[in-house]
Structure 1
Amino acid sequence: MSIEPRHPLSPKGEFVISYEFFPPKTPEMETQLWASVKRLEPLHPRFVSVTYGAGGTTRERTHAIVLRIARETGMKPAAHLTCVASTREETDRIIRAYWEAGVRHIVALRGDPPGGVGSPFMPHPLGYPSSSHLVRGIKAIADFEISVSTYPEGHPESRSIDQDIDALKAKIDCGATRAITQFFFENEVYLRFLERARARGITIPIVPGIMPVRNFKQVSGFAKKAGASVPAWLADRFEGLENDQETHAIVAAATVVEQVMDLVKNGVNEFHFYTNNRADLVFGICHLLGVRPVREKVEA
């Protein structure tokens, strides 16, 4: 399927970017996270999100990172928050704490069951039963900006793309202001989903989530759990590179640049990068888009 460009390439500097980080598990990973934050901060992202582990397992670490970003950087943090394993009272307490700390953006998610993807989701009997209920609850507490997830290839538990669009509409009706997609590797998947959503009257930004392939085996595992397809051509690109990190990195960079620039040709100007707490590939992509640190002029 060939897709004709809908808009010419945007002029340099007109792209909107955001990043996702995750709470580190070790001191070494902590160092890597903050090095990446420092490297990417000068590119002035619209926001940076911090994930929330399955079952709320990283609640305290997520909270600490969000507050440190708000306190020590010029970036606006967006805290991930889920419905899993918490009462409404506990969740509402977290929401109020973020507002009191000056955080104004939440990424509202249902979250994976404590048993992981594939196990049945059982809402806490005293908690929010779904992401749309969580969105409504957040809005009832304060006027947060709220981003939500959406799945161009369908959520693993959904019966159809129409059901996914219904779920997205429900979250918008409750107050969501932006959707961020699960990562994908075939741009046609995203573009078709975008067209179907617009045809259903959805007008909020549906921002493509972009995943650089740092470790093909690992990303393939993520994709399987998330319901994202891994095309044969992508597997072929990384075949035989398991023990060749240098070539793997070059192929990964070329692949993600190719994907992003093709989306640009199709009129996309906003991107959410899953950084894996590393800055190099994302920084390089932003450079190609013309999103660069502002250099101070040197007086003659």
Structure 2
Amino acid sequence: MTSVVQRLETGQPTFSVEFFPPRDAEDEQILWRAIRNLEVLDPAYVSVTYGAGGHNRDRTIRTTGRIASETTLVPMAHLTAVDHSVTELRNVLGWYAAVGVQNVLAIRGDPPGDVDGEWIPHPEGLRYAEELVELVRELGDFCVGVAASPYGHPRSTDLESDTKYLIRKLNAGADFAIAQLFFAPEDFLRLRDRIAAAGCEKRMIPGILPLTTKKTLTKTAELSGAPIPDWLARTLDPYADDPKGFRAAGMDVITENCRRLLDEGVDNLHFYTFNRSKATSELVERLGLVPARTG
């Protein structure tokens, strides 16, 4: 089995993609069309999300298992601690190992139903993401990633404390962190600088959203809490009623953002696909990203 870290240590820039588990048979066809279209580009790895409260757990396991057994791709499965006992988490990790999934993104997760609600741990579960990282490490030879926020987690009181908790997750045994959505490359680079200034050398990976529709921009900003910079609003506002113009302008912005990140030494760009392949394929082509070939 191949780890995410192995796939990233190529000495050249790579890209990766994120999918979510299908809700029904039609969604599954759409997902697998995207998987096959992107497979030929040889992304370094592909991640599959895990629903709040574990309600998509079986679909996540099934999807990552199929990717491991039916494709040439390296899968990374998400795992959250929400509403799970330690025994259940152990079982999930056992299932991942059994289907050939060696890479796990360990996330505490949001409260089911209300992401802003009170986070209440399972009475026989875990309270913090760092505990989940430790559990994953205890149960097998997994490569482990964690989540990071350029703006600080909504429950953090300030960036200083947020940085401290992120470093605790990394030091608990994580190999890397994937930064959640941002629109300005400087915001990710400041996060990377904060981690480096604290003496942590773990890899920081930016999560990239292809900007193709106004709805996508508005909804993801609302869900993630990522601020829309004034310069981005000024760039895209003229195309509010012009879908083709919005897509063209949005993709130009993201292309330039990615180029800035690559120029700053970022070696992996993680694209949120929404189970589609066209925008990601276009960005990869524009950026001239060389697919990872090792592992």
Paired amino acid for 2:201? T
Q: CA deviation at 1:242?
A: 5.0
Indicate conservation of the 8 Å contact 1:41/1:75, yes or no. Answer: yes
Which residue does 1:188 correspond to in 2? 186
Which residue does 1:44 correspond to in 2? 42
Which one of the candidate residues 125, 140, 143 is aligned to 1:145? 143
Which residue does 1:27 correspond to in 2? 25
User: Percent identity, aligned pairs only?
Assistant: 38
Q: CA deviation at 1:17?
A: 1.4
What is the CA RMSD across the aligned residues, in angstroms?
Answer: 1.9
5+ residue gaps in structure 2?
A: 1-10
5+ residue gaps in structure 1?
A: 1-12, 295-300
Paired amino acid for 1:203? E
Paired amino acid for 1:291? L
Larger Rg computed on CA atoms: 1
Which one of the candidate residues 281, 284, 289 is aligned to 1:291? 289
Q: Deviations over 1:124-180 (max 9, x none)?
A: 111111111011011111020001000111111111111121111111221100100
Quickly say closer, same or farther: Cα 1:114–1:293, change in 2 above 3 A.
closer
Paired amino acid for 1:84? V
Which residue does 1:281 correspond to in 2? 279
Which one of the candidate residues 42, 57, 60 is aligned to 1:59? 57
State the SS of the aligned residue for 1:74: coil
Q: CA deviation at 1:291?
A: 2.9
Quickly say closer, same or farther: Cα 1:180–1:96, change in 2 above 3 A.
same
Q: TM-score, normalised by structure 1?
A: 0.89
Quickly say closer, same or farther: Cα 1:152–1:117, change in 2 above 3 A.
same
Which residue does 2:236 correspond to in 1? 238
Q: How many residues get paired?
A: 283
State the SS of the aligned residue for 2:259: helix
Quickly say closer, same or farther: Cα 1:30–1:214, change in 2 above 3 A.
farther
Q: TM-score, normalised by structure 2?
A: 0.90
For 2:170 and 2:144, how far apart are their aligned partners in 1? 9
For 2:64 and 2:113, how far apart are their aligned partners in 1? 26
1:130 partnered with 2:117: no
Quickly say closer, same or farther: Cα 1:293–1:168, change in 2 above 3 A.
closer
Which residue does 2:207 correspond to in 1? 209
For 1:134 and 1:274, how far apart are their aligned partners in 2? 24
Q: CA deviation at 1:15?
A: 0.9
For 1:89 and 1:79, how far apart are their aligned partners in 2? 18
Compare 136-145 and 266-275 and name the one that shifted more. 266-275
Which residue does 1:86 correspond to in 2? 84
Which one of the candidate residues 148, 154, 157 is aligned to 1:156? 154
Q: CA deviation at 1:269?
A: 2.3
Which residue does 1:268 correspond to in 2? 266
Q: CA deviation at 1:90?
A: 0.7
Paired amino acid for 1:265? D
Which residue does 1:297 correspond to in 2? none
Quickly say closer, same or farther: Cα 1:247–1:29, change in 2 above 3 A.
farther
State the SS of the aligned residue for 1:190: helix
For 1:233 and 1:29, how far apart are their aligned partners in 2? 35
Compare 53-62 and 133-142 and name the one that shifted more. 53-62
Indicate conservation of the 8 Å contact 2:213/2:243, yes or no. Answer: no
Q: Deviations over 1:190-249 (max 9, x none)?
A: 111111110101111100111112333343333233231111222333336455332222
